[in-house]
Amino acid sequence: MEAAVAIIGLLFVLFVLAGVLVTVKAVKAAKRGVDRTVAQARRTVEDTTLRARQLAQPGVVGELAQLRLSLRTSMRATQEVLHGGSPDDASLSEAIGLFERLSAHGHELDDELKRLEREPDRATIGARLPDLRERLERITHSAESLRWAARDRARRFAEDDLASLSDQIDVEAGALRHWTRVEDATDPLRDPVPDRPQSAAVPGETKSPGQGQPTEGHARSGAAAGPSDAAARSWGPTPEDPLAITARDPRTQPSYPWQKAPRTEDTTR
């Protein structure tokens, strides 16, 4: 009795621990989803603000907004390509490491551009714009190089896989077109072979010792039979028989939705 109570208590503790673990995982997953949604909404608001500032405030402030928008767009596109292809291609891990180092320079440049937006001295901003523009071009060029290299690699893998699949399909199509020889003489698709030689032996026929020479009656009947009788008494394929396709049973053929239903008068016949 005590052992049963101990087992029940142990099972209860295990169920409680399992419920706690499931609850913690669900809470963490929900928190990650909320954080992801908030981050995406913040990025959308910032991008919309930069586009509006670029159009509404021409001059230095508008150019700073354009630089920030170009940097964010290029870095985000490269990140999506690399992280999207990494599950299928392990070789992109080194490229992701390089992109993380490049992202540090990108964040630094974005923070500097953000600080300059609040700078009241427009002349100082205009003097630093060429250097900032050069840094932006170097960062975006490196990001585009990684992005297009990853895309070219994925496209090459897709082309190689398609070529291999096409070769396999060609081999299978050739195997499906390999017709088999019909062994059944009663098959309606089997073509008769004319002018069968008279010396064709009947399969399974054996001669007894006393039947070495045919009698006169047998000779006459054999002469009267002729080639047509010899061809009629023989069955089975010969080397000169043509190749034929094995006929399908109409009752076992599958029906497709685009086929018309057979007429009643055909089925009754």
> CA 180 → CA 159, 168, 174, 203, 251, distances in Å?
36, 22, 13, 22, 21
| pLDDT, tens digit (0-9, with 9 covering 90-100), for 193-228 | 555 454 444 444 444 444 445 544 444 444 444 544
The predicted structure's pLDDT at residue 250: 57
Per-block average pLDDT, block size 10, for the chain (269 residues)? Answer: 81 86 86 79 79 80 88 92 85 89 93 87 85 93 93 89 92 83 52 50 47 48 48 49 53 56 51
Query: For residues 233 and 185, is the Cβ–Cβ distance under 8 A?
Result: no
Whole-prediction pTM: 0.54
